[in-house]
Amino acid sequence: MGRVALVGAGPGHPDLLTMRAARLLGEADVIVYDRLVGPQILELARPRAQRIYVGKSTANHVLPQKEISALLVRLALDGKRVVRLKGGDPFIFGRGAEEIEMLAVHGIPFEVVPGITAAAGIAAYAGIPLTHRDIAHSVTLVTGHLQDETADLDWPALARPGQTLVVYMGLLGLPVICRELVAHGMPATTAAAVVQHGTLPTQRVITGTLADLAERTADARLVAPTLIIIGEVVRLCGTLDWFQPDVISEVAAAWPESRPVIA
């Protein structure tokens, strides 16, 4: 019997991996990884380790979720030490629970290694504190992957003052998100930002307000992955944006767009 480690790879920069993640990567027989895991992180695996890409993009579902879970079970029953590597933290919009549920059903030993979630990593690298004693007392993480345009989110709660909203997977829905927040009472002057490729050399931060962020973002032609941060804390990035993307230009910029599945 092998074992599976469900490992968070952090937001992109390899130095943001946990030590536990790096150690397990160096010991694994097989790495099963997603689109948001950069090539430099995979280099920490043993050269002989098998690498299996199961990533998804909006348009291109490489391997359905059930098959990913079945693959993990099969590999572990084969006696392999498997690292299931996912971007950010596996339990935050990562479907990590679904994958380990199947392992539990089959009695396969597993562990979960937390990662720096996009909200924490990207806010730090964009110079945007998610909470601030004078400005925001809570943070809400939501998915912007809207099923029917507006109905999915609790807009009245999200529009309340004194908080910061972080929207994952929200680029396509950005105009709707800004419009609904304003319609539910958030001032159109509220500061907001979209961050592309946070923590990587290709990081770009577009700031604005709920009134103009969607237009500014469209003009900037940002590409996924992007994270939206909404709240007055965004104004602080003018003075706190310490990160100069070029300083770490040794880190490969490319996100693996699509890779063959080696099952």
Ligand X SMILES: C[S@@+](CC[C@H](N)C(=O)[O-])C[C@H]1O[C@@H](n2cnc3c(N)ncnc32)[C@H](O)[C@@H]1O
User: Among this protein's residues, is 34 annotated catalytic?
Assistant: yes
Q: Which two tokens stand for residue 102?
A: 């199947």
3-state secondary structure the chain: CCEEEEEECECCCHHHCCHHHHHHHHHCCEEEECCCCCHHHHCCCCCCCEEEECCECCCCECCCHHHHHHHHHHHHHCCCEEEEEECECCCCCCCHHHHHHHHHHCCCCEEEECCCCHHHHHHHHHCCCCCECCCECEEEEEECCCCCCCCCCCHHHHCCCCEEEEEECCCCCHHHHHHHHHHCCCCCCCEEEEEECCCCCCCEEEEEECCCHHHHHHHHCCCCCEEEEECHHHHHHHHHCCCCHHHHCCCCCCCCCCCCCCC
* CB 127, min distance to ligand X, A: 15
* CB 193, min distance to ligand X, A: 11
What track of x and - describes contact with ligand X for positions 148 through 187 (by CB under 6 A)? --------------------xx------------------
Ranked by CB distance to ligand X, the top (closest) residue is 88
* CB 216, min distance to ligand X, A: 17
| Interface of this chain with ligand X, residues 44 to 83, rule: CB under 6 A | none
Candidate list 4, 118, 136, 153; residue touching ligand X; CB under 6 A: 118
Candidate list 227, 229, 233, 251; residue touching ligand X; CB under 6 A: 227
Candidate list 83, 195, 205, 233; residue touching ligand X; CB under 6 A: 195
Piece of 23-31, 61-69, 157-165, 220-228 that binds ligand X (CB under 6 A): 220-228
User: Among this protein's residues, is 66 annotated catalytic?
Assistant: no
Nearest C-alpha neighbor of 75 from the set 28, 41, 37, 112: 28
Candidate list 28, 31, 55, 117; residue touching ligand X; CB under 6 A: 117
* CB 261, min distance to ligand X, A: 19
Candidate list 14, 55, 94, 114; residue touching ligand X; CB under 6 A: 94
Residues that bind ligand X (CB under 6 A): 11-12, 36, 86-89, 92-94, 117-118, 122, 168-169, 195, 197-199, 224-227
- Active site residues per annotation: 34, 56
